[in-house]
């Protein structure tokens, strides 16, 4: 059976923790290897990044290092206003090297709703998603972004090692690709009887 082709890979994930931990280090090690395999075995030529701090920036850097085309999807030009000077400079450098830019908001004032619009566009325009969503978190941008991936019926590579593997080097710590049905199950918060509206999507499963 021929390997599936995913020309455009889109991803977004968590911001860096105040104190980097083993999970973050593991994700950063995995990203170049995963993208290399996607390029060599699945025809990936382009990566869409949300250009946020943390996962999105590591994804963009890894893509450029591997010679992949970068598309930068931002909630707005105001995205890095609260970042450090070094972080802002890197954001502008990624924008300069991107071959396509999309801004969900063309205004100058911060508006968090446009993060959700940006996330929707990422999974609308890609063939395959990639994320480091931590499955114990049932709120925040990354959680809602996975809802948009399910809505658009995109397969997603999940970079999330087992929570009981603090060194993140056990055999169980491998990138996974849950089915759409499994993603829908994973996104159900066991503590809630309702789900955010963005998660409501009719899937023939």
Q: Which residue has the higher pLDDT, 49 or 20?
A: 49
Tell me the average pLDDT of the chain. 82
The predicted structure's pLDDT at residue 1: 54
- Tell me the whole-structure pTM to 2 decimals: 0.84
The CATH number that domain 8-199 falls under is 3.40.50.450
User: Where do the structural domains in the chain lie, given as residue ranges?
Assistant: 8-199
The two tokens of residue 90 are 């890197």
CB 33 within 8 A of CB 77: no
> pLDDT digits over 118-172, tens only?
999 999 999 999 998 876 667 778 888 888 888 899 998 888 765 434 444 443 4
The b/e string for 122-137 (b: 16+ C-beta within 10 A; e otherwise) is bbebbbbbbbbbeeee
Residue with structure tokens 């995109």? 154
Number of H helices, E strands in the chain: 6, 6
Residue 167 half-sphere exposure, CB side, CA atoms within 13 Å? Answer: 3
Q: What is the pLDDT of residue 42?
A: 92
DSSP codes of every residue in 136-177: T--SHHHHHHHHHHHHTT--EEE----TT-TTS-STT---B-
CA-CA distance, 39 to 11, in Å (whole number)? 15
- pLDDT tens, position by position, 175-192: 677 777 777 777 776 665
């Amino acid at each position: 059976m021929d390997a599936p082709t995913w020309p455009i890979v889109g991803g977004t994930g968590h911001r860096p923790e105040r104190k980097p931990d083993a999970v973050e280090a593991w994700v950063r090690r995995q990203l170049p290897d995963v993208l290399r395999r996607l390029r060599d075995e699945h025809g990936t030529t382009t990566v869409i990044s949300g250009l946020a701090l943390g996962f999105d920036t590591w994804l963009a850097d890894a893509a450029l290092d591997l010679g992949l085309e970068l598309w930068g999807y931002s909630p707005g030009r105001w995205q890095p206003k609260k970042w450090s000077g070094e972080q802002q400079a890197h954001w502008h450098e990624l924008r300069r090297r991107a071959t396509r830019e999309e801004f969900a908001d063309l205004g100058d004032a911060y508006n968090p709703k446009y993060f959700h619009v940006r996330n929707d566009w990422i999974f609308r325009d890609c063939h395959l998603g990639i994320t480091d969503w931590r499955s114990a978190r049932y709120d925040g941008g990354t959680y809602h972004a996975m809802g948009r991936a399910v809505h658009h019926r995109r397969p997603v590579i999940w970079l999330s090692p087992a929570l009981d593997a603090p060194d993140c080097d056990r055999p169980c710590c491998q990138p996974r690709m849950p089915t759409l049905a499994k993603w829908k199950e994973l996104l159900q918060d066991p503590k809630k009887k309702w789900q955010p509206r963005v998660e409501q999507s009719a899937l023939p499963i």
